[in-house]
Amino acid sequence: MRRARKMKVAALVLAASTALAACASDEASSGSGGGGSEGGSDEPRIGLAFDTGGRGDRSFNDAAVAGLETAVEEHGGEFRDLSPNADASNRADLLTQLADEGYNPIIAVGFAYGEVIGDVVEQYPDTQFAIIDSSAEEVGAGNLTGLLFAEEQGSFLAGVAAALKSETDHIGFVGGVESPLIQKFEAGYVAGAQAVNPQITIDRQYISPAGDFSGFNAPDRGLLVAQGMYEAGADIVYHAAGGSGLGVFQAAAAAGKRAIGVDSDQFQTVDDPALQAVIMTSMLKRVDNAVSAYIDSYVDGSIEGGSDIVYDLEADGVGLSTSGGQIDDIQDQIDDYRQQIVDGEIEVPTTP
């Protein structure tokens, strides 16, 4: 049985707005092709298959772009990215297209690729693949690496911040799609809030049911769900809903309340100052670090295929943003809970 690895990575000081500004084309920094199954190319040709919502979601997908661009800036080469169709039924086709075009390595962004990637990697044994949020160990292919995160740990800190800042002892959680992955965000958030205030009221709702990925790209529905929570008395709502989070921020602004972003530092990625004002913090999921580190390992030939790399609090793979200064006054308390998790004194649940 292959072992899961926990990789310590230095947090990149990388504003997500940089990624947005650099998202003008499908390729960057053209160079020579990639290497064989173990990597070792100085100038790789990198393929990236987006999750639902694609480029410009100001959250999960754009975090992957940020990491990719960091790697290309360091190593040269070029990249191409593709987005799924409306019902996301062509995920396998995207990976196959990139492999047929000679891109290597290829990175699949999102757990939904876990349903198809096993068949694809088997067809291309000389191409290295990585998948974000799905386990490579479960597939068992030597040319696939899993890039996993302890979302529940970062979400625990988001719950701590929400409970410490709430003036109504009533907060909310909006999930994009009801799935085991997003339930990790919910579970950690609830546990963190209840660690501060066991009596706190926490509203929880998903935009779309399991198997329906539209909930990650429906700001209008995100707005309605969050609006209902604010009207019911919540004064802070945390979203784990990808592009739908924009609607949560809009609802917070309209209600004069606050919200917590996810994946990227969303204070930095929204364009509207009115929305910036309501973003108390964001739960950072350092997809940028994971992508750039994976490409580093491809270039230097050190990829250990068939294994998972876990990015947790100890590895600075998850955490809270401080842009805007709204949690500066509670940072010491947040740091204390963080250290308890790192030391193993608090074990954060992964299911609600």
Q: How confident is the model at residue 9 (pLDDT cuts 50, 70, 90)?
A: very low
CA distance 222 to 251: 8
What number is the average pLDDT over the span 14-27? 35
pLDDT tens-digit profile of 280-331?
Answer: 999 999 999 999 999 999 999 999 889 999 999 999 999 999 999 999 999 9
What gap in Å lies between CA 295 and CA 340, rounded to an integer?
A: 32
Q: Is the Cβ–Cβ distance between 184 and 153 less than 8 Å?
A: no
Amino acid letter, residue 275: L
Q: What is the signed CA dihedral for 284, 233, 187, 144, rounded to 10 degrees?
A: -40
pTM of the model: 0.84
User: Is the predicted pLDDT of residue 195 greater than 50, yes or no?
Assistant: yes
Confidence category of residue 42, pLDDT binned at 50, 70, 90: low
Query: Cα–Cα distance between 315 and 342 in angstroms, integer?
Result: 9
Distance of alpha carbon 264 from alpha carbon 255, whole angstroms: 23
